Amino acid sequence: MDRKIISEDEHFAKGCTACHKGDDSKLNKDLAHKGWDKRPSDRLETCGECHARIVSTYGKSLHYTTAGQRNRVIERMSPAEAKHFDANVFEKSCRSCHASCGDCHVKSPVISGISVGLIQGHRFVKKDEGKTCAFCHGGRVYPEYTGEYGGTADVHYQKGMMCMDCHRKREFHGDGTAYRAKEEVRDRPSCRDCHRLGGEAKLTARIAHLKHQDKVTCFGCHASAEYRNCSDCHVGGGSEAKPGFMLGMSPKNKRQVTTLRLIPTVRDSFKSEGIGMERFDRLPNYWDTPAHNIRKRTERTRNCDACHEDRKGFLTKDKLIKDGSKANLDLLVNPKPIPISE
């Protein structure tokens, strides 16, 4: 590391051993590194010595607990299966995706065995969305947002906006509540935070928004391109990713059409661990997705027929994955033609 960083960054005021342990009085490399901690921020108390308030909430945040992953998949299991999953699968596999303080502020985490190393030569970085967010969310959200995946960049990205222009610090660090899933988090970003109904410049846009209010999400009309969908996830086997675009009923709100994303949990995802997911059909294989490739004008905003006549992009029975959940059928919707006034 650059020696200049040591004098510039206040995190080094107490020396390397304050976080990494070891013995800096020894000149021999092996003796100096005896008992050293390679990833000190994996223990929240390390950062909590100076950042006690943040650590007090972060320990319950979804970024740290990964409870959202656990609680969603466990709904497909019997109580006995869930107990086995917690003891033998979640802590050893899924929990490895939790983000320590250092994963966001110092060094990239290891994703699928790959790490790009220090963010800025061991500097403690407050934010650098192109790295700190893209490290973990670079499979789907970030490349969709920048246009690297799907070919169409989000209009907000083109205007110079980055992740934290919408997602606030409190959302990452948590508010002290141990939420079961991200949908429960209070004050999550909403399109209406900036785009108020009734403030449209054009009358046609105002009418369209009022007509579709609470019936279609913003993403349903303004997602502009295909996004990544993963399938066939198995313990130790990974999954396959393909581009796709799907519209259907929201699993969270059966009165609202939205963009759906195929999630990779299939019936035999945990078969190698003896988990058959006895309640697999309780949840669908598709879930609401806030597609991060928003455009003001899309095929659906330009022409009503795209949905009401051509039904482009809608999930249909023949498009459902093979041997999928029976709950998938509840997501299918057939838009009604617009009546012609006499």
Question: pLDDT tens digits for 28-63?
Answer: 999 999 999 999 998 999 999 999 999 999 999 999
Residue 168 shares a structural domain with residue 226: no
Of the ranges 108-117, 137-146, 333-342, which is most confident? 137-146
For the chain, what is the domain count? 2
pLDDT of 234 over the 90 cut? no
CA angle 111, 116, 121 (to 5 degrees): 135
pLDDT of 188 over the 60 cut? yes
pLDDT of 241 over the 90 cut? no
Q: What is the mean pLDDT of the chain?
A: 91
Whole-Å CA distances, 69 to 65, 84, 96, 262 = 9, 16, 11, 15
Give the pLDDT of residue 131. 85
Whole-Å CA distances, 294 to 6, 94, 215, 221, 260 = 42, 30, 18, 9, 15
If one compares 60 and 138, the residue with the highest pLDDT of the two is 60
Average pLDDT of the segment spanning 237-243: 83
The reply to whether 10 falls in a domain is no
| Token pair recorded at residue 133 | 């967010």
Give the pLDDT of residue 57. 95
Beta-carbon count within 10 A of 34 CB: 12
Residue 148 shares a structural domain with residue 220: no
Domain of 206?
191-331
Lowest mean pLDDT, pick from 110-119, 262-271, 284-293, 307-316: 110-119
Give the pLDDT of residue 341. 59
CB 136 within 8 A of CB 99: yes
Beta-carbon count within 10 A of 320 CB: 18
Distance CA 201, CA 210 (A): 14
pLDDT per residue as tens digits for the range 265-289: 999 999 999 999 999 999 999 999 9
Residue 169's identity, in one-letter code, is K
If one compares 264 and 238, the residue with the highest pLDDT of the two is 264
Residue 169 shares a structural domain with residue 279: no
Residue 55's identity, in one-letter code, is V
Beta-carbon count within 10 A of 106 CB: 21
Average pLDDT of the segment spanning 19-33: 94
Residue 56 shares a structural domain with residue 178: yes
The reply to whether 87 falls in a domain is yes
Of the ranges 137-141, 197-201, 241-245, 335-339, which is most confident? 241-245
Give the pLDDT of residue 342. 45
Residue 70 shares a structural domain with residue 156: yes
Distance CA 198, CA 210 (A): 8
pLDDT of 332 over the 50 cut? yes
Residue 238 shares a structural domain with residue 109: no
Lowest mean pLDDT, pick from 21-25, 32-36, 132-136, 241-245: 132-136
Residue 123's identity, in one-letter code, is R
Residue 313 shares a structural domain with residue 210: yes
Lowest mean pLDDT, pick from 76-80, 158-162, 333-337: 333-337
The reply to whether 201 falls in a domain is yes
The reply to whether 341 falls in a domain is no
Looking up tokens 């970030």 gives 142
Single pTM value for the model? 0.88
